[in-house]
Structure 1
């Protein structure tokens, strides 16, 4: 009987492993990395154009006689040795427009991302990719027309609203993470795959920022924006005609009127449902860490460009693009590429802690910087800040069953979008009200928020080590991997057979 019992236990465990095994893969299944690269490339190029064009437009509108070179990008005029009242007024107006744009894009994006992630578990991942990619293309095309015909910049808000309704760039990121979760196992392989996506993001950011500065200097603003639209259209072509669907007919379900609340319930169930007893505390702690970290990471770019193109730096489009590309290269390619090495001696929690420490140091140096060299030192010191978010995503994904990955990442994307909205509003408001006495105040605030994230990460690391480990000897011999779900289901099988 013991031999039969052991055979039944192994058979039950094997069936569970097969149930959760990823589907067969081909080279086409790795296309989310390319799609993410193209979207971030086009998005960063368009954002670079918008970030420099809006202050220039406002400078022309508010002070028509003010001589600022069109291709320069900086709002400092020639031979201006300190920040003038005009320069400060332009920065305040640009920050105010950024607030409007964030509201128009961010509020609908929060709602859209919550629904898109949950619905992708029913409608498929292609749907999740195509919706935000199409909205992004329409938004950037409207920006192109505004620049080409010198239209009022308020028309840009129409495109931002369309982009927000369709989910925005974070929905593309969410789609990529959900897709990778479908084709990888729930172990450090998934952490490495998520890091691969982060590298794709980094390369897209680097190439987009670097090329934009030189492109603007050489051709003005129209051609870079047109190129961004072409890149986004290529991404849509790949999604429609090349990318394979990972959700089969057996896993898709028809959406009915009574199922909407079930999707919303699925998103929040990770944090409130009694069925997650034993893991619910970890879900909630992880989402708090994710919230505090993404609040600064996503909200920072809205004020960073204004900080660089004004005194004392007065950077032009080339310097802004060069800095952004080098910082992106170091953060999203080199630091992300080191995750595999860091995993040799650190857990996911340890890597995330290292990232938070790096982020604090980077923000403090940026706040105190008065020269170009100090800004580059800040980028190096804070480069590891990008490590925290992918590690938290990996931790939460490993705790989640395959049929709920879309709901998980949908909720995460919704929170990340909300953090981007609130962060951008908060940091632009702080920057606009503190620019006259200490321009670096906003970065000190960011460092304090990351400090909160660091404290929560330490609690997570300590608590994770103190979770009691099940001690049934025969189960430990049969289950060697770290897949929590397989372990739990196998334990149920073992206890049933024991009775």
Structure 2
């Protein structure tokens, strides 16, 4: 690369601007040096005299010791930390433990509802259509269909499935349509609100839903009352808003190296591993006690999660004066600028492309995962499987334990061998094979095989979150996780057409919806492949000292 001419102004002003002119014809980048805050600084290696960017390093596993920095390559140079920011490889253990507790409690409640709501609605319509003499669907979902599958039984099962799917669709829309707007607002307000407030808002909404659901089941109220709980949760941001707050807090208490990806993957896997036991417990409770006890358990878990949040240390976004001024600009233009920070011209062009490809990938992954979660219970309760609640419970517990153990321990072990998003590609292939197996299965044995085939199912989500977070500075974290939260809420709503597709295909091929989900993941593989090519080019240019990067932050002056 042709050497750059660097001219800088020195003076007492709060913003010292250095201009970097690349005589080879590449785009020019401005470097703002702020004496009061080193987050925007670019600095020079004492031997090479080359500009070392302050920012994301795809190879950085751990920051070298100060004594060794002279012998380190360009991409491993020591990066100065901002006040309150952990050193590389470090994490603040107390808040990390509390975040895991909050995540586990909410995940446990979510797992209960995933098994409970569909089966409760199914039972409700079964009682309406067949009266109190019908078998309880928690233990016999095919309604006395074990002998012969006569036409009247098949018609009854299809009608029950159709009405249950319709009700689930309406609940999803009521919950997720307002949640998309709520997540945008939470992202816009993230620079000025404390992290605890960002967590308490969606947690409160989930608690209201838990109380309303328990009341509906306990007093056998009309199903329409469920809309109140689901609507309030949606207005508060629902599960996606809670994840926004949790991962924002995680970005505050972890360094920007590869350890951030490890810890986010661990958090993603840990919440699923512990909560996965809820599938088995819920299945057993539904079969032995009915629906009331699991509904009360879920509400108690949400209440405990709400009580744990105040125990977290107070945290706010770490911003310099320039970005703090933008953070308190609540005009429509100011809000749009904050939301667009990860995609603004202040980021290097290749980084912008990587972020866009990764976000499109995670959107489709979320839509596929949500669509799967909405139909799998109904699919397994239908002919020819006729699984009862206990079988569904232990199956999903085993499946989730498998892929969450891989996310917690396999990802950190294999990441050094397969850096970037290679492991996310492996996980996507695993999910694709799982969907194909569901689509073509004609016996329970084929469904059981997916316990092992789904080993990488959950890996892409934590990896993509961690890698994208590492690319961006603190001023862009809220915008990034708000975008992912909006995608999650959108996927909860966009996944509902899977229910319509499932209802439509019941009469001729009930596995069609899983085939469509597998097709969506083919697009994800292409997108992640493009991301990985860009990432390899980016890493090679850093290693060859060919790249001058826009430093840690976005310049909007």
- 1:289-304 equivalent positions in 2, closer than 5 A: 289-304=361-376
CA deviation string 1:208-255 (max 9, x = no partner): 212111112222111111111111111111102x11122179779698
Q: Which has the higher helix share?
A: 1
Taking a change above 3 Å as real, the CA distance of residues 386 and 468 of structure 1, as seen in their structure-2 partners, is closer
Aligned twin of 1:433? 504
Distance 1:427 1:468 in 2: 39
Is 1:189 the counterpart of 2:259 in the alignment? yes
- 1:21-420 equivalent positions in 2, closer than 5 A: 22-23=85-86, 25-64=92-131, 67-69=134-136, 71-72=138-139, 74-77=141-144, 79-82=146-149, 84-240=154-310, 242-247=311-316, 258-259=330-331, 261-271=333-343, 273-278=344-349, 279-420=351-492
SS in 1 for 2:508: coil
Taking a change above 3 Å as real, the CA distance of residues 205 and 12 of structure 1, as seen in their structure-2 partners, is closer
1:296–1:449: 8 Å Cα contact kept in structure 2? yes
Worse overlay, 381-390 or 311-320: 381-390
Distance 1:244 1:157 in 2: 35
Distance 1:65 1:233 in 2: 34
Q: Which has the higher relative contact order, 1 or 2, with Cα contacts under 8 A spaced 6 or more apart? A: 1
RMSD: 2.9
Is 1:489 the counterpart of 2:529 in the alignment? no
Worse overlay, 275-284 or 259-268: 259-268
Distance 1:185 1:29 in 2: 13
Which residue, 442, 445, 448 being the options, matches 2:519?
A: 448
Taking a change above 3 Å as real, the CA distance of residues 418 and 248 of structure 1, as seen in their structure-2 partners, is closer
CA deviation string 1:431-487 (max 9, x = no partner): 0000110110000000000011001111211222223755798x89xxxxxxx99x6
Distance 1:342 1:88 in 2: 45
Worse overlay, 361-370 or 10-19: 10-19
Taking a change above 3 Å as real, the CA distance of residues 400 and 223 of structure 1, as seen in their structure-2 partners, is same
When Rg is computed on C-alpha atoms for both structures, the one with the higher figure is 2
2:250–2:264: 8 Å Cα contact kept in structure 1? yes
1:36–1:201: 8 Å Cα contact kept in structure 2? yes
Taking a change above 3 Å as real, the CA distance of residues 460 and 250 of structure 1, as seen in their structure-2 partners, is closer
| 1:121 Cα offset (Å) | 2.3
1:21–1:185: 8 Å Cα contact kept in structure 2? no
Distance 2:456 2:543 in 1: 40
Which residue, 37, 46, 63 being the options, matches 1:6?
A: 46
| 1:200 Cα offset (Å) | 2.3
Taking a change above 3 Å as real, the CA distance of residues 466 and 256 of structure 1, as seen in their structure-2 partners, is closer
| 1:21 Cα offset (Å) | 6.7
CA deviation string 1:160-208 (max 9, x = no partner): 1111111111222222211111111112101111111112221243122
Taking a change above 3 Å as real, the CA distance of residues 69 and 459 of structure 1, as seen in their structure-2 partners, is same
| 1:141 Cα offset (Å) | 0.9
The runs of 5 or more residues in structure 1 that have no matched partner are 477-483, 491-499
1:76–1:310: 8 Å Cα contact kept in structure 2? no
| 1:256 Cα offset (Å) | 5.8
| 1:422 Cα offset (Å) | 0.6
2:210–2:295: 8 Å Cα contact kept in structure 1? yes
Worse overlay, 346-355 or 381-390: 381-390
Taking a change above 3 Å as real, the CA distance of residues 186 and 305 of structure 1, as seen in their structure-2 partners, is same
Distance 1:396 1:380 in 2: 29
| 1:145 Cα offset (Å) | 0.9
Give TM-score scaled by structure 1 length: 0.88
1:131–1:166: 8 Å Cα contact kept in structure 2? yes
| 1:153 Cα offset (Å) | 0.8
| 1:339 Cα offset (Å) | 0.1
1:170–1:413: 8 Å Cα contact kept in structure 2? yes
